[in-house]
Amino acid sequence: MFRHIRSDINAVFENDPAAHSRFEVIFTYSGLHAIWAHRIANKLFRKGWFTFARIISQFSRFMTGIEIHPGATIGERLFIDHGMGIVIGETCEIGDDVVIYQGVTLGGTGKEKGKRHPTIGNNVVIGSGAKVLGSFSVGDNSNIGSNAVVLREVPDNCTVVGNPGRVVKRNGERVGDRLDHKQLPDPVIEMFREMHKEIESLRAEVEKLREPVAGGETRS
């Protein structure tokens, strides 16, 4: 219990350069309060005390603006920065050393039953406003950009941005359909290529016209 509390506080110092003292962190970080309330709610939920668990979770939501379903599984050293507007679904699983910013939803699509929320790997950053929807996994060390809407599996070591979310970096290398700035199309060269093609086809036509027709004359 105390080991958990200590590592939760240390996670704040590791991730937030604005944190000044333990006293300040313990009393003013609503992300920490939500995680601590969740640990109690989750224990009750696992014992089958669903309503009590839910009451604690709702009270925590009222105080912090962070709604964590008591059934959600949360790993070590989760850091929730700012909080407010965060929703974490019942069957969501979160690994260790994850950072979640304000406005994140780890939810379902409304189409699934049973396991319907995402599984987040270790050391994942989920930017503000990002929505991760469905029962797929987000791999270890991946980054979800702020405001991304992620609807399918994310492998390890990836950066996903946009709506719908797509992988733009994997293992530190750019991937996907984004423009490669080193190979931007040059409009002048493109125009010359088109002109060259046009000249070639005109030349072929002229050659055809010059061919002698029956009777030994050329077409005029």
Binding site for ligand COA (CB under 6 A): 82, 101, 125, 127-128, 143, 145-147, 159, 161-162, 168-169, 174, 178
* Residues forming a β-bridge with 88: 68, 106
CB of residue 159 to ligand COA, shortest distance in Å: 3
CB-CB contact of 31 with 82 (8 Å): yes
Give me 84's structure tokens: 């407010």
CB of residue 104 to ligand COA, shortest distance in Å: 9
Give me 126's structure tokens: 């989920």
CB of residue 95 to ligand COA, shortest distance in Å: 17
Name the residue nearer to ligand COA (CB basis): 31 or 70. 31
CB of residue 132 to ligand COA, shortest distance in Å: 13
Name the residue nearer to ligand COA (CB basis): 122 or 146. 146
Name the residue nearer to ligand COA (CB basis): 64 or 91. 64
3-class SS of residue 92 = coil
The rounded distance, in Å, linking the Cα atoms of 211 and 200 is: 17
Cis peptide before 164 (omega within 30 of 0): yes
Q: Count how many Cα atoms sit within 13 Å of the Cα of residue 38 in the half-sphere of its side chain.
A: 29
Name the residue nearer to ligand COA (CB basis): 1 or 179. 179
